[in-house]
Structure 1
Amino acid sequence: MTSSAVAGQGDQTLADRAYQAISERLVTLGIRPGEPVNDERIAAELGFGRTPVREALKRLETERLIVAYPRRGTFATEVQIADLGHISEVRQQLEPLAASLAAERATERDRAGLGELLTRLDSESQAGAGGGADLIRLDMAVHRALYATTYNPYLQDTLIRYDNLATRIWCLFIDRLPGLAGHVREHGPLLRAVIDGDPQKAAALAAGHVEGFEAAIRGII
Structure 2
Amino acid sequence: MPGAGPSLAEKAYLFIRDRLVMLDIKPGEPINEDWLSGSLDMGRTPIREALKRLESERLVVAFPRRGTFATEVNIADLAHISEVRRTLEPMATAAAAERATSDDRQELTGLLTRLKPATGIAGNTELLRTDLDVHRAIYRCVYNPFLEDTLIRYDNLATRIWCVFVPRLKGMAGHVNEHRPLLTAIIKGDAKKAAELTLEHVTGFETAIRALI
Q: TM-score, normalised by structure 2?
A: 0.94
1:4 is matched with none
Deviation at 1:182, TM superposition (A): 1.3
1:20 is matched with 14
Tell me the alpha carbon deviations over residues 26-50 of structure 1, each in whole angstroms, 9 at most, x when there is no partner: 1111011110012222121222332
Q: Which moved more, 1:129-138 or 1:145-154?
A: 129-138
1:97 is matched with 91
C-alpha RMSD over aligned residues: 1.6
Tell me the alpha carbon deviations over residues 68-119 of structure 1, each in whole angstroms, 9 at most, x when there is no partner: 0001110000110000000000000111011001000000011011111112
State whether structure 2 residue 171 is matched by structure 1 residue 179: yes
- 2-structure distance, mates of 1:216, 1:26: 22
2:105 is matched with 111
Amino acid at match of 1:155: L
Amino acid at match of 1:85: A
Amino acid at match of 1:70: P
Whether the 8 Å contact between 1:128 and 1:135 is mirrored in structure 2 is no
Q: Which moved more, 1:44-53 or 1:201-210?
A: 44-53
State whether structure 2 residue 48 is matched by structure 1 residue 54: yes
State whether structure 2 residue 136 is matched by structure 1 residue 147: no
Whether the 8 Å contact between 1:37 and 1:74 is mirrored in structure 2 is yes
Deviation at 1:133, TM superposition (A): 1.9
Give the 3-state SS of the residue equivalent to 1:32 in structure 2. coil
Q: How many residues align?
A: 211
Gaps of 5+ in 1: 1-7
Whether the 8 Å contact between 1:36 and 1:74 is mirrored in structure 2 is yes
Deviation at 1:198, TM superposition (A): 0.4
Deviation at 1:9, TM superposition (A): 8.9
- 2-structure distance, mates of 1:213, 1:54: 33
2:160 is matched with 168
Gaps of 5+ in 2: none
